Amino acid sequence: MTWTPEDAAHLLRRAGFGGTLEDVNRLHALGKTGAIDAIVDYEKTADSVWSNDNPFGLPDVLAEWDGVRTALLWQLLKSRRPLQAKLLWFWHGHFTTPSSAAGTLLFRRQMNTWRTHANGSFAAFLSAVYKDGAMLEYLNGSYSHKDHPNENFAREVQELYTTGTGPYREADVREAARALTGWEVTWPERNVVFNPQSFDTGTKTFLGQTGNLNGEDIMRILAQRPETARRTCAKLYRAFVSERVNLVEVNALVKRWAETGGNIKAVMRALFQLPSFWDARTRGFLFRTPLELILGLMQRLRLDLDLDRARAVGWMSHQMGQDPFEPPNPAGYRTGLRLTGASMLLGRTQMAENLIYNWASPASIAILHAGLPRPTPPDQLVATVAARLGVTTLTAGTRASIATFLGSTPIAQPNLEDRTRSVAFLVASSPEYQVM
């Protein structure tokens, strides 16, 4: 099969937030295998954004209630490693903690930890998760005591983070809770410490294994369960390939997981080679989440982010049904059809209007019409703007609606920027732009 610029754009939308047209061309030049390797082996790409935790120069980024959140939005937008940014966002939605649940310091630490583990060993990741300060605060592991242990994390780590419902019973939840006692987040240092005095040293039986189990044992047992491999691979599939799960392909990912002891990078490399990932019939079966939509449009139009805009990104995303870094519950962000509320969808068109009319400079708009003949035939403008925004085929309805609005007269140079904004706004509001 041929490898087209559209394929490279597709890879960047899924493995990242979409990137610029130059990013697409650069990736295309590498060929398919080279492009996948460049995406997956992202450590080889220099990226300074992650060492800049205070891009807006706040006097004290941790003292500002949204200092960490806004910095993270900047990092996701600016990272030169699309997959690292996307995986950080994915894992933040999986092993999830709202930034407000634990304070800015613990949340910043958690995001650094999650990023470190984002493409490594799932077992090592899980081992970091259960003793992460923000997670201990959010799911009440901190100060859980052998007398009446707290069950919150013990349940959610099974139901949401690893096996899913099925293997465990209520007794397993209670036994895991006993094994997870003893951890404390100190005040005011916010350090995670283990206090043997409050740890339950008794014998526990968890998923059929018996002993004086501790948190490390529980995580090891869960990481090794086949349900964990299957459920995590299926979740990656639904996030990166399609909401229509192909079981044969998920099995291929599970096999890779088993071969590598749960190595996330190996699974991702296999995922980007699945036939369905590239199949034209599978494209368009991911509903772009609000943040994917906003950051994707910003990257493509090369829109910059200052503190005010970062806050506006949070607000626009909220109007679209998703508060960045404030997931609604331990299951993480809502996706797919649960993001299609009437008001949420109006929020999408409002966002498109704001970015294209208020944020995009003439230079940004020129990205969409550069090189077109002057005067510009309307149909050529529509096809070009749509393609440069990432929509290769508009529906007949969208094309007809825009064509009626533009009329058939070629567009003179003085009107081109204005008409381009109109077309971009209408394309970004179309159903075909909401999917990828």
Partner 1 sequence: MTVQHNRRRLVQAGLGASALGAMPGVEVMRSARAAGPGRKLVTIHLTGGNDTVNTVIPYADPRYAAVRGALAIPVTAAMPKLDARNALHPSLKGLHALWNRNRVAIVHGVGYPAFDYSHFQAMEIYWSADPRRTTYTGWLGRALDTVSGGQTAPGVLTGLSIGWSLPPSLIARTVSPPQLPPRADGFYLPSWGAQQAALKSVLSQPPTGTNLFYDAYLRNSHAAIRAQDVVRTAGALGTTVTYPESDFAQGLRFAAQLLRTDAEVRVVAMEQGSYDTHESQLAQHTESLTELDEGLRAFTADLDLHGLSDDVLVLLWSEFARRVVPNASLGTDHGSAQAMILIGAGVRRGLVGTPPTFDPARLVDDGNLPMQFDFRQLYATVLDQWLGLDSKTVLGAVHPHLPVLL
Q: Which is nearer to partner 1, 258 or 346 (CB)?
A: 346
Q: Tell me how far apart the alpha carbons of residues 249 and 235 are, in angstroms, rounded to a whole number.
A: 12
Nearest approach, Cβ of 258 to partner 1 (angstroms)?
27
Q: Which is nearer to partner 1, 24 or 423 (CB)?
A: 423
Is residue 45 classed exposed, middle or buried when 0-12, 13-18 and 19+ CB atoms within 10 A define those classes?
middle
Q: Tell me how far apart the alpha carbons of residues 241 and 90 are, in angstroms, rounded to a whole number.
A: 13
Nearest approach, Cβ of 11 to partner 1 (angstroms)?
20
Q: Which long-range contacts (CB under 8 A, 24 or more apart) does 137-141 make?
A: 137/97, 137/101, 137/102, 137/103, 137/106, 137/185, 138/97, 138/98, 138/101, 138/102, 138/330, 139/330, 141/180, 141/183
| CB burial readout 27-43, b (16+ within 10 A) else e | bbeeebeebbebbbebe
Nearest approach, Cβ of 156 to partner 1 (angstroms)?
9
Q: Which is nearer to partner 1, 120 or 167 (CB)?
A: 167
Q: 211: part of which helix (H) or strand (E)?
A: strand 209-211
Q: Which is nearer to partner 1, 84 or 434 (CB)?
A: 434
Can you list the alpha helix ranges (DSSP code H) found in 207-263?
Answer: 215-224, 226-240, 247-259
Q: Which is nearer to partner 1, 92 or 419 (CB)?
A: 419
Is residue 56 classed exposed, middle or buried when 0-12, 13-18 and 19+ CB atoms within 10 A define those classes?
middle
Nearest approach, Cβ of 283 to partner 1 (angstroms)?
10
Q: Tell me how far apart the alpha carbons of residues 24 and 8 are, in angstroms, rounded to a whole number.
A: 6
Nearest approach, Cβ of 349 to partner 1 (angstroms)?
5
Q: Tell me the torsion sign for CA atoms 123, 126, 131, 134.
A: positive
Compute φ and ψ for 359, nearest 5 degrees.
-100, -35
Q: Which is nearer to partner 1, 80 or 174 (CB)?
A: 174
Q: Which is nearer to partner 1, 78 or 283 (CB)?
A: 283
Q: Which is nearer to partner 1, 3 or 194 (CB)?
A: 194
Nearest approach, Cβ of 144 to partner 1 (angstroms)?
6
Nearest approach, Cβ of 405 to partner 1 (angstroms)?
4
Nearest approach, Cβ of 300 to partner 1 (angstroms)?
19
Nearest approach, Cβ of 152 to partner 1 (angstroms)?
4
Nearest approach, Cβ of 420 to partner 1 (angstroms)?
13
Per-position DSSP letters for 317-382, written without gaps between them:
HHHTT--TT--SSTT----GGGG--HHHHHHHHHHHHIIIIII--HHHHHHHHTT--SSBPHHHHH
Whether omega before 375 lies within 30 degrees of 0, making that bond cis, reads: yes
Q: Which is nearer to partner 1, 33 or 340 (CB)?
A: 340
Q: Which is nearer to partner 1, 61 or 316 (CB)?
A: 316
Residue 432's CB: how many other CB atoms inside 10 A?
Answer: 18
Contacting residues toward partner 1, per CB under 8 A? 139-140, 143-152, 155, 159-160, 165, 170, 173-174, 284-287, 318-319, 321, 328-331, 334, 336-347, 349-350, 352-353, 395, 397-398, 400-402, 404-405, 422, 425-426, 429-432, 434-435
Is residue 258 classed exposed, middle or buried when 0-12, 13-18 and 19+ CB atoms within 10 A define those classes?
exposed
